[in-house]
Amino acid sequence: MKAMTLKCYNMLVLLFLLVNLSFYGNVRAQKNGLGASFIFGDSLVDAGNNNYLSTLSKANIPPNGIDFKASGGNPTGRYTNGRTIGDLVGEELGQPNYAVPFLAPNATGKSILYGVNYASGGGGILNATGQIFVNRIGMDVQLDYFNITRKQIDKLMGASKAREYIMKKSIFSITVGSNDFLNNYLLPVLSIGARISQSPDAFVDDMINHFRAQLTRLYKMDARKFVIGNVGPIGCIPYQKTINQLNEDECVDLANKLALQYNAKLKDMLVELNDNLPGATFVHANVYDLVMELIKNYDKYGFTTSSKACCGNGGQFSGIVPCGPTSSICKDRYKHVFWDPYHPSEAANLIIAKQLLDGDNRYISPLNLRQLRDL
């Protein structure tokens, strides 16, 4: 009987220790983890907002999402075969859930405390960007939506705690700018008038001035930790290579020159904002060089091609028709840098995310994302 009592006692002690370890482990994870991830931008990080719009830019059709485990391989509105860079970074920084799309019905209550995704396929810095898609959410409207979330967090936590949570525990990541070139200034035929009336310099300055105002507006809503991606080598995507009938190792010069011109001014602007907005940290993600490294040295990273889309149709690089049920699809998805004519594969996103999380000043500066979280 005594032996039985001793056994029960030992089991209770063990159970008590396990519960305490679990409790303190969770508290520590919460303390060290990211509070909320607020994601803004375009189709590179859209997690499903365009599902709720009447738009020509949608990814909620198979085989998109075929490798997205959380949905069982069903499309969610992500423009890739698996997770976006935003998803991967959130996972690594300790978020228990993906940031919920703002327009989704479940973007309510305590779920928004993990973060909200406002990104929209076709969206850009300028309001005119993406008109070809009929509907999309540009940056100005995305900030209007965050303003709604901001007030909801006040109600959930109380004004004082909410402000501290937003300022100290939350990261604001913004991936935008590509569409301002691809689906605005560089649009075949439709943009000729704009290019006659506005020089590349004037167009880039317009983008920078709008973006400065948008980032300052976020700061006024208590955002303090920012990560801003520059524009990638848009002249090297399968769509651009296909429509311009380029060889495998060629890229469209004008598109890349515009991206580099914008990127140089963006970097200067982020230095200026770090100097002028007290308490803010603007981290610069050098997406251009990161993606260009994958494109030029794809074999070093285990890829077999950086020019052909895994999912798409048309031309040498399957770069004209977007990914959908009638598209041809490659079998070795993890060996393609590009999932479709425009967007990286999950395999490429994994490499990019790793550099943003733990990389050095070549790709992420002045801090990497783990350091930004722990500020």
pTM for the full predicted model: 0.90
pLDDT tens sequence across 318-331 = 999 999 999 999 99
**The predicted structure's pLDDT at residue 20:** 43
**The predicted structure's pLDDT at residue 155:** 97
Please choose, from the candidates 53, 45, 79, the residue with its C-alpha nearest in 3D space to the C-alpha of residue 65. 79
Q: With contact defined as beta carbons under 8 Å apart, do 52 and 104 qualify?
A: yes
- The domain made up of 33-374 is a member of CATH 3.40.50.1110: yes
pLDDT tens sequence across 63-99 = 999 999 999 999 999 999 999 999 999 999 999 899 9
Please choose, from the candidates 127, 139, 161, the residue with its C-alpha nearest in 3D space to the C-alpha of residue 45. 139
Distance from C-alpha of 258 to C-alpha of 87, rounded to nearest angstrom: 28
3-state DSSP percent of the chain in helix, strand and coil, to 5: 50, 10, 40
Q: Which of 37, 42, 43, 327 is catalytic?
A: 43
> Is 199 a residue of the active site?
no
pLDDT classification of 187: cutoffs 50, 70, 90 = confident
Distance from C-alpha of 246 to C-alpha of 230, rounded to nearest angstrom: 25
Mean per-residue pLDDT for 150-166?
A: 97
Provide the angle, in degrees to the nearest 10, between the axes of the packed helices 200-220 and 253-276.
40
In this prediction, what percent of the chain has a pLDDT beyond 90? 86
pLDDT classification of 144: cutoffs 50, 70, 90 = very high
**The predicted structure's pLDDT at residue 219:** 98
Q: Which of 180, 318, 340, 345 is catalytic?
A: 340
Name every residue whose Cβ is closer than 8 Å to that of residue 116 and which is 6 or more positions away in sequence. 36, 38, 39, 99, 100, 101, 102, 107, 145, 146, 149
Name every residue whose Cβ is closer than 8 Å to that of residue 129 and which is 6 or more positions away in sequence. 122, 123, 138, 179, 180, 183, 184
Mean per-residue pLDDT for 25-35?
A: 52
Please choose, from the candidates 104, 98, 109, the residue with its C-alpha nearest in 3D space to the C-alpha of residue 60. 104
**The predicted structure's pLDDT at residue 338:** 98
> Is 160 a residue of the active site?
no
Name every residue whose Cβ is closer than 8 Å to that of residue 208 and which is 6 or more positions away in sequence. 262, 265, 266, 269
pLDDT tens sequence across 234-250 = 999 999 999 999 999 99
The answer to whether residue 29 scores a pLDDT higher than 60 is no
DSSP-derived letter for residue 131 is G
Q: Which of 210, 284, 336, 343 is catalytic?
A: 343
> Is 340 a residue of the active site?
yes
